[in-house]
Structure 1
Amino acid sequence: MKLCYQVATPDVAISPAVTAFQGKLDDSFRKLAELGYDGVELMTLNPLELNWDQVKGEADKNKLDIVLICTGEIFGQLKLSFMDRNLDVRNKAKKQVKGIIDFAAYFGSNVNIGRVRGQYCAELPKEVSYGYAIDSFKEISEYAGKKDVKIALESVTLMQTNFINTVQEAVNVVKDVDNEYFKMMMDVFHLNIEEKDMFEVIEKYADYNIHVHLADNNRRYPGHCGLDFEKIITAFKNTGFDGAFCTEIFQLPDQDVAAAGAIAHLRPILDRVYK
């Protein structure tokens, strides 16, 4: 079990909408290591703009594991997705994700698929859009499998996309893709909104889950609002989950306070639950 924090690489534009620690990587890694985090989830856009040896060196120096690479800002900042009506946009999205898969393979990490999957639009029949998504998922999964990288598909609230809102919907897609390297992940923030009973879902679909995002019910740091994280983490532990728990939160009131607040709340809980 590892407690991790999301960190944006320098190619991601500084923005208050980004749910990750931002700035120079050496500073970000040092601060998070000093707080006691075990690892990081990197949010990146253009890995070729980065010095991979330097990123790994900074992580190693601070004894931080790089557990996952997040693709969210491929849609957030580049507006690329797998379900766009434009073939060129879809191809650019797949090319961008393949570059991130290469980046992940270098660190022995996995890759998250969130908003880059796209969404249904009024101009296309749903079955056409769905076909675009499945074809893209199959292509990137085959590519990832050759590099021993797993893809973690994330269910996302209807407030952000109209495609794959529940874990059941994510599992249906995983079955349609039918590739051992195409799995899914659970984000507690989205589960709390979209699921009737998140604890039932955590147990029922545990075999598909390879990663967990943690945030309170207002997307701020855990312990800031109303979710019972001892109950949530215990539910994951009871399924046999022993992977990475990573924050994906708004950096409010600022990233230093958010990072300190998250670990102050979560570390004692994880220590009790995982002993």
Structure 2
Amino acid sequence: MKLCYQVATPDVAIADSVTAYQGPLEKSFYDLASFGYDGVELMTLNPSELNWDFVRKEAEKNKLDIVLVCTGEIFGQLGLSYTNPKEEVRKEAIRRTKEIIDFASALNANINIGRIRGQYCSELSKEQTEKYAVDAFKEISEYSGKKNVEIALETVTIMQTNFINTLEEAVNIIEAVDNPYFKLMMDVFHLNLEEKDICEAIKQYSKYNIHVHLADNNRRYPGHCGLDFEKIITTFKECGYNRNFCTEIFQIPNQEAAAKGAINHLRPIFDKVYGKK
């Protein structure tokens, strides 16, 4: 089990909306290691612009594991998705995902699928949207399996997309894809908005889960608002989850304060629940 923080690579445009530590990787990795994090999750847009060996060595130098590469900004900054009505857009979304899979494979990491899955729209039927998504998921899963990269499908609140909002909906898709490399990830912020009971939902679908995002119920750092993280993390532990947890939070009031606030709240809980390393 590792406690991680999300880091934007330099190809991602700096913006207040980015839920990751930003700036040169040398500083990001150094800062987060000094705060006490075990690893990082990378937010990446154009891996071809990066020196992959440099990224790996900087993480190793700071004794940080790179656990996952997220695909969110392919949609967030480029507007690409697997369910866009335009075929060329769907193909480009898949191509860029495969590029991120290659990058993740070189780092011995996994990837996630968030908003890049797209959404229902008036131009396509519900059935056609789901077919495009499942076809894309099957294609990228077959590709990722050859690279030994797992894909974590993230449920996302309806306030960001109207497609795959609940864990039940995600698991239905996962079973339709039917590939051992295509699994589930749970984001506590989204679970709080879309599930009747966070902990009961974790228990019900834990066997599919391979990655966790942590944020308080206002998307700020854990401990900033109302979620009971000791109860939530204990539930994951009781379900046998022993993989990685990563913050995905707004960098408020600034990234240094957010990163410190998160680990100051979370580390004592993890030490209590999972035991000190």
- What per-residue deviation string (whole Å, max 9, x for no partner) do you get for residues 49-78 of structure 1? 000000001000000000000000000001
| Partner AA of 2:53 in structure 1 | D
Residues in 1 aligned to 2:89 and 2:162: alpha-carbon distance in whole angstroms = 19
Residues in 1 aligned to 2:41 and 2:192: alpha-carbon distance in whole angstroms = 22
The list of structure 1 runs, each at least 4 consecutive aligned residues, that deviate by more than 6 angstroms after superposition, is: none
Structure 1 residue 82 and structure 2 residue 82: aligned? yes
Which residue does the alignment assign to 1:218?
A: 218
Which residue does the alignment assign to 1:236?
A: 236
Which residue does the alignment assign to 1:73?
A: 73
Superposed, 1:43-192 pairs within 5 Å as 43-192=43-192
- What per-residue deviation string (whole Å, max 9, x for no partner) do you get for residues 235-269 of structure 1? 00000101111000000011000000000000000
Which residue does the alignment assign to 1:16?
A: 16
Residues in 2 aligned to 1:118 and 1:146: alpha-carbon distance in whole angstroms = 25
Q: Which runs of 5+ in 2 are unaligned?
A: none
Larger CA deviation: 120-129 vs 28-37? 120-129
- What per-residue deviation string (whole Å, max 9, x for no partner) do you get for residues 96-130 of structure 1? 00000000000111000000000000111110111
Q: Please give the secondary structure, in 2, of the residue aligned with 1:99.
A: helix
Residues in 2 aligned to 1:95 and 1:76: alpha-carbon distance in whole angstroms = 16
TM-score (norm 2): 0.99
- What per-residue deviation string (whole Å, max 9, x for no partner) do you get for residues 174-193 of structure 1? 00000000001000000000
Which residue does the alignment assign to 2:36?
A: 36
Residues in 1 aligned to 2:171 and 2:198: alpha-carbon distance in whole angstroms = 15
| Partner AA of 1:187 in structure 2 | D
Q: Give the count of matched residue pairs.
A: 275
Q: Please give the secondary structure, in 2, of the residue aligned with 1:5.
A: strand
Shift of 1:137: 0.3
Superposition RMSD in Å: 0.4
- What per-residue deviation string (whole Å, max 9, x for no partner) do you get for residues 7-55 of structure 1? 0000000000000000000000000000000000000011000000000
Shift of 1:198: 1.1
Shift of 1:172: 0.3
Which residue does the alignment assign to 2:246?
A: 246
Q: Please give the secondary structure, in 2, of the residue aligned with 1:121.
A: coil
Shift of 1:90: 0.2
Residues in 2 aligned to 1:162 and 1:242: alpha-carbon distance in whole angstroms = 30
Which residue does the alignment assign to 1:6?
A: 6
Residues in 2 aligned to 1:53 and 1:67: alpha-carbon distance in whole angstroms = 16
| Partner AA of 1:182 in structure 2 | F
Residues in 2 aligned to 1:123 and 1:60: alpha-carbon distance in whole angstroms = 47
Residues in 2 aligned to 1:265 and 1:33: alpha-carbon distance in whole angstroms = 16
Residues in 2 aligned to 1:198 and 1:262: alpha-carbon distance in whole angstroms = 20
Residues in 2 aligned to 1:51 and 1:123: alpha-carbon distance in whole angstroms = 40
Shift of 1:209: 0.1
Q: Please give the secondary structure, in 2, of the residue aligned with 1:260.
A: helix
| Partner AA of 2:73 in structure 1 | E
Residues in 1 aligned to 2:170 and 2:149: alpha-carbon distance in whole angstroms = 19
Residues in 1 aligned to 2:234 and 2:244: alpha-carbon distance in whole angstroms = 14
